Structure 1
Amino acid sequence: MMSLFKYILSGTVLCCSLQVHAQLFNKGKDADELYNEAVKETKLNHYQKAIQLSKEALQKRPDFVDQQLLLGRLYMLTGNNDLARKHVRDVIVKAPRYKDAYLYATNIEMGAKRYEEAECYVDEGLYEFPQDKELMLKKLSILDASERFFQGGNYANSLLDKYAGDTTVQRAYTGHYLLAGHYYQQRNNTLLAQENYQRAMLLDPNNEEARTALNSMTMKSGSYTRALELVNTELAASPDSYDLMMRKLGLLQDMHDYAGAIDQLQQILKRWPSDAKARSMETALRMEAGAWYSNTDPYLLYQGVLEKNPGNREALDKVIGLSMSRGAYREALAWINRGLKTSPNDQRLLALKLDVLESDRKFTEAALLAEKLRYNYATDDRKAHYISLKLASGRDYLSQQQYDLAMAEFDKVLQASPRDTTALDLMANSYINQKDYIHALETLDKALAIYPDNSRFLLKKSSVLAETGQYDEAADIAAQLLKQHPGDARYNANIIDLRLTAGRKLMQAEEYDMAAGEFRAVLAQAPDNLDALNYLINMETAVEQPDSALYYADQALKYHPGDKELLLKKAGVLTQLKRYDEANAIAYQLMQRYPYTIRYRTAYTDGLIAAGNTYQRNNAPDSALALYRQVLNINRKDSLALLYSINLLNGKQSYDSALVYANQGLRYYPNNESFLQKRALTLENKKQYAEAALAADSVVKLNGNPVNVDYADYLHSKTMKNQFGMYFLHSSYDYQDTKYNIATLEYRHFFKRGSYAGRLNYAGREQGTGLQGEAELYYTHNRTLYSYALATYSNEVVFPKMRLGYSIFKTFKHDIEGELGVRYLNADSSNSISGVASIAKTWKDFWVNFRAYFISDSPEFYTSYNLTTRYYMNRQQDYIAFIAGLGTSPDDRSRLIQFPKLAGLLTRSVGAGYQKTFKYRTTAGIYGTWINQKISSTVFQNQYDIYITLQRKF
């Protein structure tokens, strides 16, 4: 029987040790490794695998916001918007400065066409990141998607003002007006459609969509002249476009300008001679023209004259004039060239040819002919005409971005007229368009050497200097211009815009002090400038100078007293200064003025919550609770106010009220992890452990991370009122071969104020079998006082006949505990009474206890001392213990049978142990002790104890 018991006990210990070993050494991948794997799987579009890895990472590290945001994105990619929304919102709550979370949240709501919610998230993001370009572009897209084009137009204009040179903003601006134009065009609102398309073309003159739409609307309205102008403008930019040339042909045909139509058709055939569509139109077009003109067309009459008499000069002049009047410049040019064959130096024909080339916008050819005429017939008019044509030719090259050819034309103008302001201006523009600011400045300096007070050149130089970052020099020139024209609003606006631009660029470079100097210079000139005031408020807030930000907010409101954005900013600054009453008063006014605007209601409730948090930190929970109630009166669903109220009420031990709020939160957010946790915690505080455990199980179903599972296990353990235990003590000696073992079975019951237990100890000896019964009680009197009592009785074969013990424990401040007690022992007809005193102290995870025994064994008196140190791990479930003793104590189970013999000996002992708890239910422990006893001055003997424990709650 004894051998069988040993095998069972050994197997139990082995299993426990293997489980301990597995938990200590098999850690698996950490959260960062799992996150990196999830990112790789996401890039490979393996979304389900990435979701599984993300969940594992969050179990290991619940506060891993990068991982939680990735999980939200994965749910969004797999179409599970509810879970995506939950995770992204949790990231915003945990890390409000995480910009990507606001972008994901906005995308989720836009995908669901919940534009109001999307705008709320963008506004929240812009509150944290004022003037962030990406968030501002996202807001513009929301306004467009919700078809609020008027507000979108204002917002697009403000965006462009802030980021004038940014191509992304420019595309967004153009895209907004194209979308608005299409919207109004579909609803036959031609006036608004044309206005929006024209706004798009202001920034992008070559936009094909806007041009096509404007052409279509113009033709529908019957305005052929305007339509033809638009087509000619497009052809100037794209002269080889087949579609544009065919469109022009159709317009000329509709206008009955058959000469022009036939000429246009010939141009098309010349470029695309095998085009079947163009060839099929030739005969039909001429037949239509013949039917229209019949025999009344003077052009045909004069042409008939020339066919019979080619040298008739009057008919030639008439044909040329009629061709030009009809816009048939190529035909007119053919007749002129026909005349010049017979009279190559005819001044009139050459002048006509020059006019035709100029009218046909062939400025380069016209300029060459003008140069020839200038040298042959030198007059001031010829020179001026030559210069104007060269300038026109240069402009033409500039429109095609052929900068080298354009510069060559302007050089020739300056050779003919070195002081020509237009050539100097266009040359500077060419360099500016190419961003060649060095040569642009050289050209402008050359122009200013000739015209030192020319406002246009000074203004342009100021702009170029600003582009190169030379803001001080640019501002000096702008100030000079303003001084020259003190009443001119343009120059006043110029210096303001210049300093604003300089300030913006310095802000982007994080040169905040220099940027502030520029904005203050703007205010010195225009104290009411809203842009400068806004920039200064934002910048001072960003660099955590709320006092300065408040100064500028007050200054701005002095000039713009009802501006809601300024009022909201001032409220934000006052909140930063912790002047919550003033901030909340402003937010409350805004909420009253705009009751349907969520952001003002949110600003007010956020201010109340911030004030409540301050009261909470200052240990004024009642004041904090009053503010949270105000928040809940405005928005019963406010999750922060509910959670903070629950925490405070739990702290005040108002558990019933806390539970009401927890249930309210779950009514609005039924699957919210935080509210389920608060409900479980509150029920735990009420000692309603069964209901608390059910709530904790719901949390685990939502998020089965180790922390939540551990808490659920803890609560379940609190519902268990019984415990079964097995103990085994093995003692061996170096002075005899006999080994002694004691096996113990225990039953313990837990009740509200403590626990009581009954134990049966069993030990076999040569002289017989020892049995001992024990009764033990722990009883809690109040929060600082509890008692311990023990009584044992045995058959005296191995164990002492009787043991009695009692101790009372008192908890003091600073985690100090004191004990006073008494022990009684009856063994081998020897009676001893001992007094016990101990003191214990906790430092974080360390617990130290020093206990002293004062033993009276008449007529002798002895003392014994014991020092125990524990290091707790895993939320104080497990510990490692180190024990040292001096003397034999009446609580030492392994030596009580020998107590009368050992009490007076010099005994030293050291021991160590490890106890591990599994899921708050099963506890296993192993302890080893070495005892050294001094028998005489030269004789020592040793005892070795191994003690194994196993307990199970049920």
Structure 2
Amino acid sequence: MMSVFKYILFSAVLCLSLQTQAQLFKKGKDADDLYNEAVQETKQQHYQKAIQLSLQALEKRPDFTDQELLLGRLYLLTGNYEPARKYVKKVLEKDPLYKDAYLYAINIEISDKKYEEAACYVDEALYHFAGDKDLMLKKLAVLDVAQNFFQGGVYANSLLEKYSGDTTVQKAYTGHFLLAGRYYQLRGNDLLAQQYYEKALMLNPGNTEAKDAITGMYIRSGSYTKAIEQVNAELAANPGSYDLMMRKLGLLQDTHDYAEALNILQAILKRYPNDGKARGMETSLRMEAAAWYANVDPYLLYQGILEKNPGNREALDKVIGMSMSRGAYREALAWINRGLKSAPNDQRLLGLKMDVLESDRKFTEAAALAERLRLGNSSADMRSHFIALKIASGRDYLAQQQYDLALAEFEKALQADPSDTTALDMMANTYISQKDHVHALQVLDKAIASNPDNVRFLIKKSSVLADMGQYDEAAEIAEQLLNKYPSDQKLSANLIDLRLTAGRILLQSEEYDLAAGEFREVIAQSPNNLDALNYLINLEMAVAQPDSALLYANQALQYYPDNKDLLLKKASVLTEMKRYDEANAITYQLMQRYPFTVKYRTAYTEGLLASGNAAMKNNSPDSALTTFKKILAINRKDSMALLYTINTLHTKKEYDSALLYANQGLRYYPTDEIFLQKRATTLELLKMYGPAAVTADSIVLVHNTPANVDYADYLHSKVMKDQFGMYYLHSSYDYTDGKYNIATLEYRHFIKRGSYAARLNYAGRAQGTGLQGEAELYYIHNPKLYSYALATYSNEVAFAKMRLAYSIFKTFKHNIEGELGIRYLNADSSTSISGVASIAKTWKDFWVNFRAYYISQSPKSYTSFNLTTRYYMNRQQDYLSFTAGLGTSPDDRSRLIQFPQLAGLLTRSVGAGYQKTFKYRTTVGLFGTWINQKISTSDYQNQYDIYIMLQRKF
């Protein structure tokens, strides 16, 4: 028994221990889990539980914006407006572009009957989301609940114009005018009510509520005839309508036209024989008719008396009283007017008429009577009544936008009491409605003189001054009010709005210093004003003051440390200051927090691009390459990162890697011109001319431009390894009739390190045909060193027997090239050996070469000098040349046959030529040279050379 007890005790302790461990090591729910649970509880209308879950979520993550908005909504649903308002305001302070937050804020203020605040929120939302249909509908709803039906009607019309085919807008439009109609109907203003109901019927002709209401107004005003006419018109369109027939029956019953009523009842029974209501009415209607005809209405009795004795005052008073008690103001007015015909100055009748007109909301006519009655009654009550009627009349004119008539009424009210605040206020409103700010200010100044402490007049004056653009004066008034009532949040907000508006306008006018002054005043009053801080950041950036912009960004982030837009703006400022690492750290954190928001990822990659470009400018290609690869790790399709990576690899001469990235770019953008060009250029740098030419052809197919066609031709020329050439040299002389002509055929083959060529020269002579064979070699040792070699042999007819040449060329800094060489010539049993030295320099498109020869021809030695200049065009395909020489050199083809005889003569030469290449494949040239030789002290002879060339690659 004891062992069993021990076993039970041990099990209980073990179970308790396991439960404790489970609680200790159980992972708590994070803020997102709590938020999702709160959403589900809200859907099930478990609002208190949802509130508890929301508060727990905010404890875990205080900056959880969506959770704050949900909590605001929950408090709204439970009727706790203050906490609801608190949380929704927090959301809007953090994110002024959160549309749902504006909708909740508007609903809160409407529910709490704070319609002005609701209007402020909806106007602010429409500032950010201009033309948004939902917000425009919400504004119409705010105007309706605030009973501002005139402005609401204007807004409903503009809304319908913007979204004429939208059924939701059409319903809202109809609903607005129905609501306005009900409002005025309940207050006895049948005229306005009827107008609004008729507007509702314009869009929705079948609306039952509007038609019934108009009929009811006809009945109340005693216009049964119009009511019956309306029902008859509807019956004409729908003759079998049970409801319309029953409505007509009721109207006939009200007018005591029992005979016609009984006819209609029979028609109903004939069409609806089983209708219990109609059958039940048959007996009661007949009894009612019998009673009516047995006991005539007193109203009719008194009416009969008046018909027999129109001057019977008692009967007249009774008829008027009965009409007014029944709400039949038009009938009462008719009897009063009948009495006034016989007694036009009867004060009691005039007073009754004024009351009837006022009850029927005909304030203008009532006010005219009050003005007449004042002549015989100067009491304070009559004066007050007169002023009230004039103001009411003016309001009616103002609602109808008849501003002159409204002003006349308010002016008469002020004549009776110059300090009446209501009349002054309405007169100011009338001028403001007309945007007549000058007269509005005059009225407001008069009102303030009489009521210097009236806050409403001071605020209104400040608003008018602001509308006139006099923001300094407007702000001065607002500041005085705030100093007087420092705890009034509305006054504080008004002053801030004034300064912000002034700043915005100055900013649009590019008055940056003045605008900055306004925004600084705002943050001096409200250091955490997000709008002012944002404007100052933008303004300082606009005037190229990023240091100041950074100060304001940091100030703003002190109050809104997690504001995404501010963080992004700070990153932008840091990027402008070239503090790329700090900027990228911010955008990286934003990207981590909001991985699905494109703009943060874009900002981070753009910052990396800027950083990489800066590294390239600082000659740090390795750092730039690392940065660009970071971008590609985020988005391997980023075109700019791919292009910059290729360019950087080109700088590093890592062409193989550059080719990989060019191919990667083409995988994502197969027809992109830039990536195709990068691939072709990289292949060219790798000397892979065949694939480069194929790529260039594909560029031309997609983007057929002259530049792309030219580049394709250039690459194709690099693929061609052979060249055929034909040359013709014609020399003529002024001292002999003979001509010296040489025709040349050439074959050249291009190799990786240069080219070699074989030529056959032909010259016809009287003594025979001269033939000369030539072998030529250009050999590139390395990028800065190459050699030239030539060997010729002939049959010694017109040509030297043998010629050998060799030069080595070296490239130095600053585009300078040097040459050292040797020449050997065997002609006419004469042998010469020459040394050659030259220097060449390139300036952009100009090339200049100066060459000197030292010629040893036993027993004498000579010198020769040549200057050659070229001006290159069209990617150095074509050039114009100019040559000048002194002496005869062993490289002068046209005079080699006479070299032994010419070597010692003073020889001068000048020449010019033009060479043109077509599509990098076919080259033609034309050159001319004039040579002047001094053969004695006073004798000279001239030689003229024309040289033509044609080359073709294949």
Can you list the C-alpha shifts for 1:615-639, whole angstroms capped at 9, x where unaligned?
A: 1111111111111111111111111
AA aligned opposite 2:799: F
Displacement after TM superposition at 1:669 (Å):
1.3
Asked if the contact 2:869/2:882 (under 8 Å) is kept, the reply is yes
Question: d(CA) in 1 for partners of 2:329 and 2:207?
Answer: 15
State the 1:308 CA deviation: 3.1
* Structure ranking higher on relative contact order (CA contacts 8 Å, 6+ apart): 1
For 1:451 and 1:494, the matched residues in 2 are separated by: 21
1:437 aligned to 2:433? no
Query: 2:122 and 2:791 mapped to 1: Cα distance?
Result: 86
Aligned to 2:250: 288
Q: Alpha carbons of 1:675 and 1:301: their partners in 2 closer, same or farther (altered >3 Å)? A: farther
**Match for 1:289: what amino acid?**
L
The amino acid across from 1:257 in the alignment is G
1:780 partner letter: I
Amino acid at match of 2:825: L
- Cα distance per residue 1:83-141 (max 9 Å; x no partner): xxxxxxxxxxxxxxxxxxxxxxxxxxxxxxxxxxxxxxxxxxxxxxxxxxxxxxxxxxx
What SS does the aligned partner of 2:510 have?
coil
Q: Which residue of 1 aligns with 2:705?
A: 705
Match of residue 625 from structure 1: 625
In 2: Cα distance, 1:152 partner to 1:333 partner: 51
Name the counterpart of 1:835: 835
- The whole-number CA distance in structure 2 between the counterparts of 1:916 and 1:289 is 107
Deviations 1:478-533 (A, max 9, x none): 11111221221121111111111110010010000000000001111110011100
The aligned counterpart of 2:893 is 893
* Local SS of the residue matching 1:376: coil
Residue deviations 1:154-186 (CA, integer Å, cap 9, x gap): 99999x9999899x979944645357899xxxx
Partner of 1:474: 474
Write the distance in 1 (CA, Å) between the matches of 2:525 and 2:492.
Answer: 8
- Equivalent in 210, 228, 242 of residue 251 of structure 1: 210
Q: Does 1:150 align with 2:100?
A: yes
1:926/1:946 contact within 8 Å kept: yes
Counterpart of 2:929?
Answer: 929
Aligned residue type for 1:301: D
Aligned to 2:678: 678
Decide whether the 8 Å contact of 1:258 with 1:289 is kept in 2: no
Residue 223 of structure 1 and its aligned partner are, at CA, apart by 11
Any conservation in 2 of the 1:773–1:793 contact (CA below 8 Å)? yes
Seen in structure 2, the aligned counterparts of structure 1 residues 732 and 350 have a Cα distance that, compared at 3 Å, is same
Preserved contact between residue 728 and residue 744 of structure 1 (Cα < 8 Å): yes
Structure 1 residues 762, 278: CA separation in 2 closer, same or farther (over 3 Å shift)?
Answer: same
User: Which residue in the other structure is 1:204 paired with?
Assistant: 155
Identify the range of structure 1 (758-767 vs 509-518) with the bigger mean alpha-carbon deviation.
Answer: 758-767
SS of aligned partner of 1:904: coil
Task: Decide which structure has the larger Cα Rg and report it.
Answer: 2
Q: CA deviation at 1:450?
A: 2.5
Distance 1:505 1:164 in 2: 18
1:207 to partner: Cα distance: 4.3
Distance 1:692 1:472 in 2: 69
The runs of 5 or more residues in structure 2 that have no matched partner are: 1-97, 108-116, 161-167, 256-284
Q: Does 1:260 find its partner at 2:209?
A: no
SS at match of 1:494: helix
**Aligned equivalents of 1:505, 1:904: Cα separation in 2:** 89
- Is 772-781 or 455-464 further displaced after alignment? 455-464
Deviations 1:568-611 (A, max 9, x none): 10011011111111111111111111111100111111111111
CA–CA distance in structure 2, aligned partners of residues 403 and 698 of structure 1: 74
Hey, what's the Cα distance between the residues in 1 that align with 2:355 and 2:248?
A: 28
Question: Residue 459 of structure 1: CA displacement?
Answer: 1.8
Q: Which amino acid aligns with 1:541?
A: M
Q: Deviations over 1:437-464 (max 9, x none)?
A: 2222222222233233332222222222
Please give the residue correspondences for 1:315-326 in structure 2 after superposition, counting only pairs within 5 Å.
none
- Report how far residue 302 of structure 1 moved: 4.6
- Asked if 2 retains the 8 angstrom alpha-carbon contact of 1:252 and 1:261, the reply is no
Q: Which runs of 5+ in 1 are unaligned?
A: 1-147, 183-189
Give the residue type in structure 1 aligned to 2:251: A
Instruction: Indicate conservation of the 8 Å contact 1:571/1:584, yes or no.
Output: yes
SS at match of 2:439: helix
Partner of 1:38: none
Alpha-carbon distance in structure 2 between the residues aligned to 1:939 and 1:436? 105
Paired residues, number: 798
Structure 1 match to 2:172: 214
**Contact 1:265–1:278 (CA<8 Å) still a contact in 2?**
no
Give 1:183-198 correspondences, 5 Å limit: none
Q: CA deviation at 1:267?
A: 6.9
TM-score normalized with structure 1 length: 0.76
Show the counterpart of 2:10.
none
For 1:151-550, what aligned pairs fall within 5 Å after superposition?
172-173=130-131, 175=133, 177-178=135-136, 201=152, 204=155, 206-207=157-158, 209=160, 213-214=171-172, 216=174, 243=202, 251=210, 253=212, 257=216, 259-260=218-219, 286-291=248-253, 295=288, 301-310=297-306, 328-550=328-550
Question: Corresponding residue for 1:724?
Answer: 724
- Alpha-carbon spacing, 1:323–1:580, altered in 2? closer, same or farther (3 Å): farther
Do the aligned partners of 1:235 and 1:245 also contact (CA within 8 Å) in 2? no
**CA deviation string 1:380-423 (max 9, x = no partner):** 12211211121122222222222222222222122111112222
Classify 1:847/1:263 alpha carbon distance in 2 versus 1 (closer, same or farther; 3 Å): farther
Contact 2:431 2:440 in 1 (8 A): yes
Q: Which amino acid aligns with 1:409?
A: E
For residues 231-254 of structure 1, what are the alpha-carbon distances to aligned partners after superposition, in whole Å with 9 as ceiling and x for unaligned? 976766899998499889963636
Report the Cα distance in structure 2 between the residues aligned to 1:555 and 1:354, rounded to whole angstroms: 66
CA distance in 1: counterparts of 2:648 and 2:105, whole angstroms: 43
Counterpart amino acid of residue 619 in structure 1: N
Matched with 1:913 is 913
Instruction: Give the conservation status (yes or no) of the 8 Å contact 2:671–2:702.
Output: yes
SS of residue in 2 equivalent to 1:257: helix
- Sequence identity of aligned pairs in percent? 63
* Whole-angstrom distance in 2 between the partners of 1:251 and 1:886: 114
Give the Cα–Cα distance (whole angstroms) in 2 for the partners of residues 758 and 823 of structure 1: 19
Query: TM-score, normalized by length of structure 2?
Result: 0.76
Whether the 8 Å CA contact 2:184–2:193 is kept in 1: the answer is no
* Deviation (angstroms), 1:338: 3.8
C-alpha distance in 2 between matches for 1:878 and 1:901? 36
CA contact (8 A) 1:916 1:925 kept: yes
Q: Work out the CA distance in 2 between the residues paired with 1:325 and 1:591.
A: 75
Q: Which moved more, 1:208-217 or 1:706-715?
A: 208-217
Partner of 1:96: none
User: How far is the alpha carbon of 1:324 from its aligned partner?
Assistant: 5.3
1:597 lines up with 2:547 in the alignment:
no
Report the CA distance shift for 1:459/1:224 in structure 2 as closer, same or farther (over 3 A). Answer: closer
CA distance 1:587–1:497, change in 2 (3 Å): same
The equivalences for 1:44-63 within 5 A come to none
Residues 323-347 of structure 1 show CA distances to partners (whole Å, capped at 9, x for unaligned) of 6567654344334434444554444
- 1:533–1:553 CA contact under 8 A, matched in 2: yes
Quote the Cα distance in structure 2 between the aligned partners of 1:919 and 1:155.
72
* CA gap 1:609/1:320 in 2 versus in 1, 3 angstroms: farther
Partner Cα separation in structure 2 for residue 571 and residue 540 of structure 1 = 15
Distance 1:608 1:248, change over 3 A: closer
After TM superposition, the structure 1 = structure 2 runs for residues 541-580 of structure 1, keeping only pairs within 5 Å, are 541-580=541-580
